[in-house]
Amino acid sequence: MRGGLAAALVVAGLLLLNALFTGAVAPAFALPPYLLQVLCLAGINVTLAVSLNLINGFTGQFSIGHAGFMAIGAYSAAYFTVTFGEAVRAALGFLPAFARDGAVLLVALAIGAFLASIAGFIVGVPSLRLRGDYLAIVTLGFGEIIGVLILNIDAVGGARGYSGIPKLANFFWIYLFAALTILVVYRVVHSSFGRTLVAIREDEVAAEAMGVHTTRAKVISFVVSSALAGIAGGLFAHYLMYVNVRSFTFLKSFEIIIMIVIGGLGSISGSVLGAILYISLTEGLREFAQYRMVLFSLLLVILMIVRPQGILGHKEFVTFLTKRRRSIGAAPGTPGNA
């Protein structure tokens, strides 16, 4: 029952932090609204980055359409809340207000995740046949098409964007799902199934020759990853209370890729680190206004040249630290590997 205890602790801790940051405990502890918002967006980015890493980092399939799944999650979850939220709330009249809000949000996120995962399945299917660059292009195309389709649905505002979404998500929910995403991806990766994913990344032909259901594994990783992106989208919509297709173009997908590449593909803690670094850098460089994106893209190119495997490489943060120490401690003249 250690797992149950840990979960309870995480929930309690997040609730406490949430209360602190919003100033519910004592106004002195409250974070400035701007900082709190940055923190919350960072949490959503963690979810996006860790989930994309499942496809790009662990399965070795190159997807650049993650924002599309996020968009589906955002719009469908928001649509549910706007259309049926009141009815659900009324039906749950016997519950206290925060529980009612939570229930509506959870159902909305579940719908967002489900629809996004269906889209993930549809995108995953061509991945049976395509590899490398070609898959990248298809995912890019799907992402853009999703955007165009949403643009043409009048019920969700079309080009004007979708406004009037109740603010149901907050620090607590965002970080709860970030933690959940990390847990899900961690467990997938560290299971026998995760082994097959990494085998596919390393050598798909050999994996198939070892009897791995490569197709099935790839599709599952797409479905899981896009469901999580859908949740991130739902949280995004219910936090900002407004969404626009323009937030989900391939530039957003690029952003997520940059996060996981900075941190190191195939490293969960690397994705977390990358997401946080990305947000801190882009927000931190805000002073330099128009220079910040120039500087940022330059940093990215330099990182690729100097350390293409990202900051942590394939390693997790803990092993990164320990391995480093060991290699420093190794005596000079130790025979290297050819």
Which residue, 106 or 209, is less far from other proteins as judged by CB? 209
Contact status: 86 vs other proteins (CB under 8 A): no
Q: Name, in order, each residue with C-beta under 8 angstroms of 255's C-beta and a sequence gap of 6 or more.
A: 45, 278
Which residue, 17 or 303, is less far from other proteins as judged by CB? 303
Which residue, 33 or 308, is less far from other proteins as judged by CB? 308
Residue 196, Cβ density class (10 Å: 0-12 exposed, 13-18 middle, ≥19 buried)? buried
Contact status: 192 vs other proteins (CB under 8 A): yes
Subset of 160-189 contacting other proteins (CB under 8 A): 184, 187-188
Which residue, 93 or 329, is less far from other proteins as judged by CB? 329
Contact status: 136 vs other proteins (CB under 8 A): yes
User: Torsion over CA of 235, 229, 86 and 163, rounded to 10 degrees?
Assistant: 70
State the Cα–Cα distance between residues 265 and 270, nearest whole angstrom: 7
Which residue, 26 or 338, is less far from other proteins as judged by CB? 338
Stretch that binds other proteins, among 9-17, 46-54, 258-266, 272-280 (CB under 8 A): 258-266
- Cβ(268)–Cβ(53) below 8 Å: yes
Subset of 284-323 contacting other proteins (CB under 8 A): 290-291, 293-294, 296-298, 300-301, 304-305, 308, 314
Considering only residues 6, 134, 321, 324, which one is a binding residue for other proteins as defined by CB under 8 A?
134
Name the site residues for other proteins (rule: CB under 8 A): 56, 62, 126, 129-130, 132-134, 136-138, 140-142, 144-145, 148-149, 151-152, 184, 187-188, 191-196, 198-199, 201-203, 205-214, 220, 224, 250, 254, 257-258, 261, 265-266, 290-291, 293-294, 296-298, 300-301, 304-305, 308, 314, 337-338
